[in-house]
Amino acid sequence: MQISTIVHPSPVGDLLISGNDSFISGIRYADLHPELAEKAVPPDEAPALLRRCASHLDEYFAGWRRTFGLQLQQEGTSFQQTVWQRLLKIPFGQTNTYADLARQIGNKKSSRAVGLANGKNQIAIMIPCHRIIGTSGNLTGYNGGLWRKKWLLDHEKHIAHGVLSLF
């Protein structure tokens, strides 16, 4: 099945939403993937699921949505798939550490591998890799840049505490 991509504006920069009628395969930052942005199609020419995903993201940024019920699918090893599935269980507005995530998937010595799998996630925001922080509580690597990670965590914290985020 052919994958299409649309460009969608957001408070953290234009997002590239990729997928087809069955699943979302990517949510990436357009400034970091200009080669994908060049191939984007107009939203009205894209599968309806991509427009629905854009609406879900708008609701998330407006503070109305905390979970996403869309079918997500990306290629990866079984270990990466396990990490990505575990990321989906981190509650909105909360964080977890690489070490905790490694323990939760049953391999407490795999913190570094968890970090690498986290970094391979191609479905930003909906698979919330931004919710993973260092053991010290510091923000550590994020493919979209630490400023975006901070923005997303602050946004979720404010919403979780009943303060509507204004973007």
Q: How far apart are CA 65 and CA 70, in angstroms?
A: 13
Distance of CA 116 to the CA centre of its chain: 15
Catalytic site includes residue 53 = no
Of all helices (H) and strands (E), which one includes residue 8?
strand 4-8
Based on its alpha-carbon atoms, the radius of gyration of the chain, rounded to whole angstroms, reads 16
Which letter does DSSP use for residue 24 in this model?
E
How many angstroms separate the most distant Cα atoms in the chain? 47
HEC string of 29-65? Answer: EHHHCHHHHCCCCCHHHCCHHHHHHHHHHHHHHHCCC
Among 27, 46, 129, 152, the active-site one is 129
Active-site residue list: 129
